[in-house]
A = this chain, B = another copy of it.
Amino acid sequence: MSSTGPRRPGAGGAGARADRVKPQPRARATRQAILTAAAEHFARNGYHATSLDSVLADSGGTKGALYFHFASKDALARAVIAEMVQRWRDLRGQVNSHGLDPLATLLALLDEVIARLLDDPIARGGTRLLNDLPVAEEQARAHYGFGEQECLDLLTQAAHAGLLREGIDPAVAARQIVAIVAGNRQICDALGERHDLRQRVEQAWQLVLPAIATDTWLAAWRASR
């Protein structure tokens, strides 16, 4: 019952701790291992059905290691989401530099999003957690808001380049593109047919692209594949 424990040096401050001192490589590795294993379990079973013991069994870590790096189960889940959002932010620079026009860039970008949604445990776990976690509105806003903004940027560029049809509101289109991806992903997941996601999104493009792009761009795009 003694609350005089001087231990837990930066307890709950895994973020505040890493700022000052350099984290040892070993610590970084175990943290990452636990984070990844947790993301996998979260993706498969959801937040509440995931037990920390099972995560630790898969990651090779222990309770001590976990509660050194993360203040609670909730903090662990939020760390998964934060990691996912960070990776989304890093995505832009990895795809963009091919000299493609804005619309083609958007397609390439979303193709990479699909790839991660299919394979990357962090992305899969993070997206599921956005729905499982009771109060994750803030992180959900960061996630979906960033996706929308990214789409909006490219669509606005496309509009300025004259690639969009008359009367298309880039903001509406951006928002709905995000929703379409999210919806197809969710349905694929519910049906247990995750690998169908890519095909479904292609069908979505088949429907939406003619609605937003000019005929000339469409013709050129169809010719280029």
Interface residues of A (CB under 8 A from B): 45-49, 130-132, 134, 136-137, 140-141, 144, 167-169, 172-173, 175-176, 178-184, 186-187, 189-192, 200, 203-204, 206-208, 210-212
The answer to whether B172 and A203 touch across the interface, beta carbons within 8 angstroms, is yes
CB distance from A59 to the nearest CB of B (A): 21
User: Beyond A190-B137, A192-B137, is A208–B206 a contact (Cβ under 8 Å)?
Assistant: no
Measured between beta carbons, the chain B residues less than 8 angstroms from A186 are: 131, 182-183, 186
* Known A140-B192, A144-B187, A207-B211; 20 more pairs at CB < 8 Å: A45-B134, A46-B46, A46-B132, A131-B186, A137-B190, A137-B191, A141-B191, A144-B190, A144-B191, A172-B206, A173-B207, A176-B207, A179-B180, A179-B183, A179-B184, A180-B180, A181-B183, A208-B211, A210-B211, A211-B211
The answer to whether A136 and B190 touch across the interface, beta carbons within 8 angstroms, is yes
Copies in the complex: 2
CA distance A191 to B145 in the complex (A): 10
CB distance from A192 to the nearest CB of B (A): 4
Measured between beta carbons, the chain B residues less than 8 angstroms from A45 are: 134
Measured between beta carbons, the chain B residues less than 8 angstroms from A184 are: 176, 179, 183
CB distance from A177 to the nearest CB of B (A): 9
Partner of A179, one of B48, B169, B172, B187: B187
User: Beyond A210-B211, A212-B207, is A182–B187 a contact (Cβ under 8 Å)?
Assistant: yes
- Across the A-B interface, give the 6 residue pairs with the lowest CB-CB distance, nearest first: A183-B183, A211-B211, A48-B48, A179-B183, A140-B190, A182-B183
